[in-house]
Amino acid sequence: MDEKIEEYILQHIDKEDDVLKAINRATHVHLLNPRMISGHLQGNILKMLCKMVSPKVVLELGTFAGYSALCLAEGLCDGGVVHTVENDDELEDFILENLQKSPLGDKVVLHLGDALRVIESFDNDTIDLSFIDADKRQYLDYYNAIFPKMKKGGFIIADNTLWSGKVLETPHHTDLQTKGILAFNDYVATDERVEKVILPLRDGLTIIRKK
């Protein structure tokens, strides 16, 4: 997205609240690859989508700093919870500190470990909304594992599905992340069990609805 267009958008949407702003700042100061954070624009979109769905159970794969988990938590229905999974246990203290800064932090449950194992712990037909933003090599595995856990009419949101335009190129044989995104995109495109659309937001955001 053109930087001037993005800046115009940011000036005409809800402001980033102080807690999220502080998390964004701390992420850029303390973590490698801070661009992995959802950020103001995508965070607002996740928040809005979640409010439209009003889910009781949300599953997020890839916590990173906890920014997107708090955005999702804002859209929960009464008694709802966001289960967020992070494989890097070195981020635990940073994530928990960020969650504790927010009044919504008690609506977020952090799971550390392998996402596929965490997914297995959920009963079928129990998840209202899932947000996939973890290991790109495993996107299709995540999708297939999550699908039976999703309620009918539930939504799966997948981030980075345009992968900096690499989806238009033939990936190098060692580029397993691009191969993972391509495999996921191709599979979802032909999956008749769902409705789907890709938004050209940042690095691509795919919204999938289970029929």
pLDDT at 202: 82
Rounded Cα–Cα distance for residues 36 and 46 (Å): 15
- Please answer whether residues 191 and 158 qualify as being in contact, where contact means their C-beta atoms are separated by less than 8 angstroms: no
Collect the ranges in the chain with pLDDT lower than 50. Answer: none
| Torsion angle defined by CA atoms of residues 111, 78, 152 and 70, in that order, rounded to the nearest 10 degrees | -40
| Torsion angle defined by CA atoms of residues 89, 94, 97 and 103, in that order, rounded to the nearest 10 degrees | -90
Structural domain boundaries in the chain = 3-210
pLDDT at 201: 85
Distance of CA 26 to the CA centre of its chain: 19
Q: What proportions of the chain, in percent to the nearest 5, are helix, strand and coil?
A: 50, 20, 30
Task: Report the candidate in 61, 68, 114 with the shortest Cα–Cα distance to residue 83.
Answer: 61
**From its phi and psi, is residue 184 left (phi > 0), alpha (psi between -120 and 50) or beta?**
alpha
Decide the pairing of beta strands 205-210 and 150-159.
antiparallel
Instruction: For the domain made up of 3-210, give the CATH fold.
Output: Rossmann fold (3.40.50)
Read off the pTM. Answer: 0.95
Task: Report the candidate in 87, 105, 191, 199 with the shortest Cα–Cα distance to residue 140.
Answer: 191
- What pLDDT, in 10s, does the model give residues 38-85? 999 999 999 999 999 999 999 999 999 999 999 999 999 999 999 999
- Beta bridge pairs of residue 83: 59, 109
